Structure 1
Amino acid sequence: MTEKIKNWFKNKKLRFLVTGAAGFVGTNLALRLLELGQSVTGVDSLITGRISNIEHINNFARENGKTDGFKFIKGDLNDAELCKNVAENIDYVFHEAAIASVPWSLKEPHLFHSNNDAAFFNILNASRLSAVKRFIYASSSAVYGTDSNIPSAEDNIGEPLSVYGAAKLTNEIYAKAFFNSFGFESIGFRYFNIYGKFQDPYSPYAAVIPIWVKKILSNERFIINGDGTTTRDFCYVDDIVDINLLAVMYGGEKKPGVYNAGIGKSVSLNELVQMLKEFFGNDIQYEHGPFRGGDIKYSEADITRAERELGFNPKFSLREGLEQTLEYYRGLFTLGNAGGNY
């Protein structure tokens, strides 16, 4: 966390709503806000979020004398009345709740419509009605779809390749419409490939880094989808928390802003394997499988707009972020005994 962020929040007591508070980014955001002395209401349906993450937040609050700073509500954002209730008396909303998986969206598209589109509309509208100062939400690099420009810049979106990408693009359209119709301000972040502490390694739709690390620590073989030349822009979660906080601090032109959130550098999956070998040794086991339908082949963020308008400056290289991440996962499971509880 930068001194700029610490100083801005110093002596401020703001009220935040974090949706998806039991999920990956939501948990990290809630913890950072508590660390900064802010008041946090977390809501999560626990469809993919973990109650153990909420317990961790509660423990952190208790150990640091911030027990009055965090409240958790189990609920589904498809319930419009719930959305109205949780948005009352809130200064800023961080909407991180979503089901985030391209392959899952191809298997259960209706689930993704209800949880990623309808739920988004409900909490966006409730935030507007409650006069929230700014609605900050998670979009995705999946919106770039068929766009072949690398690195990807915010104005160059293509056709979505998945239901998940379409849902996130719909979120952005709603946010723009709410600004144009009601003057309601929002900032969306097109997350690239985020990794780090509290990312679930147990889901069948787990992201590449947690699922590969879990397999390695379990002495199991992992699968590289495709020939390994697929590229990704991996961004450590602490940098993602920073850019979200910078969105709260933003004092520029009011608009429905959308920004890329990555580090502005990509690596291939083959290069990621080589880096993991440096951490674990050359005897890790893997094989190549078919390329996954719906996936984008090459992905890298152009973060020029976020740097210029928000002052975003990612601090973690992939190697540095992996060091932090592997320390976290080693604390979760013992070699050869990677159970499903954490």
Structure 2
Amino acid sequence: MGYANIKFPKDSLFLVTGGAGFIGSNLCETILEMGYKVRCLDDLSTGKQENVDMFLSEPDYTFIKGDIKNLDLCIEACQGVDYVLHQAAWGSVPRSVEMPLFYCANNIAGTLNMLEAARQNSVKKFVYASSSSVYGDEPNLPKTEGREGNLLSPYAVSKRCDEEWGKQYTLHYGLDTYGLRYFNVFGRRQDPHGTYAAVIPKFIKQLLNDEQPTINGDGKQSRDFTYIENVIEANLKACAAPHEAAGEAFNIAYGGREYLIDIYYAIAEALNKNIEPKFGPDRIGDIKHSNADISKAKKLLGYYPEYDFKNGLNEAISWYMRNL
């Protein structure tokens, strides 16, 4: 693994917010396997208790059910913490269009609470989830940090605000912050259910059930789909990054580009299903094409992702076939 040789001081304590979610639970699992302590904070609004039940017998794991909109709770959760991996947020571009006030309160004010709590507790590193959505309507590919367009959704606004607040906390308060602009993460434990489910697990679930999936748009939109192991590597590399890289945001992807219709047929072939998809309307606020330039993360974080799309997809399909 790209993070196998990363070492932290013995007895290091990691706080993973949103730790019962897809990305958060994978971070909890990996850090525990590496021999460090994990404190998981989640209000279970989108995360699932079943994602972290397996850790309950671990002596180095503790769970706090709580809301990042509660500053006092955030301060308490950060006590004694060395590294914060802030994954707690509500995702989904279309849902954010329907719920702008909530996204402001949860994704922006909640992140600010966590930054302040980390500052008050002298946390060493604060690594937080941003998003490729911050590129908005900027048409050029690959997407490069510092060349962003007009934001297209409240979700994108929330992530861009988080980056600005992270920069301020490094600039004024000495808190080393690192923003990770995730590009379409997929892999084990990603929720395949619900209206706002991510496309890869949703396709897999529907095809396994012999249902006809719907593709929003014409299927010719492209994404830099990024396997979960690459994202774990990025978070741990950021925790080990130098102060000189703090206050910045980084593209976290593999650096490839896959078309949605091609992904659909690849999954159908892997599952030996001969079901043609339906096509629906474009999703409001969606970006048509996305592909990341990851050279900045390579240079400043030492991020060299190991899993290309094909390898990641094969692993994801195998996991869902065992667990759905």
TM-score, normalisation: structure 1: 0.92
Task: Among all aligned residue pairs of Structure 1 and Structure 2, give the percentage whose two residues are the same amino acid.
Answer: 38
C-alpha contact 2:245 2:300 (8 A) present in aligned 1: no
Residue of 289, 304, 307 corresponding to 1:313: 304
Asked if residue 161 in structure 1 is aligned to residue 161 in structure 2, the reply is: no
| 1:168-213: CA deviation from partner (whole Å, max 9, x where unpaired) | 0000011111122222210010000000001111132111101111
**What residue is the counterpart of 1:27 in the other structure?**
25
Q: Tell me the amino acid that sits aligned with residue 181 of structure 1.
A: H
Residue of 65, 75, 79 corresponding to 1:74: 65
C-alpha deviation, 1:252, in angstroms: 5.3
List 4+ stretches of structure 1 deviating above 4 A.
none
**What residue is the counterpart of 2:216 in the other structure?**
225
- Structure 1: any 5+ residue segments left out of the alignment? 334-342
C-alpha contact 1:179 1:186 (8 A) present in aligned 2: yes
Q: Which range moved further: 78-87 or 198-207?
A: 198-207
- CA distance in structure 2 between the partners assigned to 1:255 and 1:53 by the alignment: 31
**What residue is the counterpart of 2:177 in the other structure?**
186
| 1:8-44: CA deviation from partner (whole Å, max 9, x where unpaired) | 3277321110000100100000000000000000000
- CA distance in structure 1 between the partners assigned to 2:138 and 2:55 by the alignment: 39
| 1:42-63: CA deviation from partner (whole Å, max 9, x where unpaired) | 00010000010120232xxx3x
Q: Which range moved further: 176-185 or 45-54?
A: 176-185
Count of matched residue positions in the alignment of Structure 1 and Structure 2: 324
C-alpha deviation, 1:277, in angstroms: 3.0
**What residue is the counterpart of 2:132 in the other structure?**
141
| 1:274-298: CA deviation from partner (whole Å, max 9, x where unpaired) | 2123302351241111111100001
Residue of 193, 203, 208 corresponding to 1:212: 203
Q: Which range moved further: 271-280 or 38-47?
A: 271-280
- CA distance in structure 2 between the partners assigned to 1:209 and 1:146 by the alignment: 24
- Structure 2: any 5+ residue segments left out of the alignment? none
C-alpha contact 1:99 1:116 (8 A) present in aligned 2: yes
- 1:10–1:189 Cα change, 3 Å: closer
- CA distance in structure 2 between the partners assigned to 1:270 and 1:202 by the alignment: 20
TM-score, normalisation: structure 2: 0.97
**What residue is the counterpart of 2:250 in the other structure?**
259
Pairing of 1:83-162 with structure 2 (within 5 A): 83-162=74-153
**What residue is the counterpart of 1:43 in the other structure?**
41
C-alpha contact 2:185 2:228 (8 A) present in aligned 1: yes
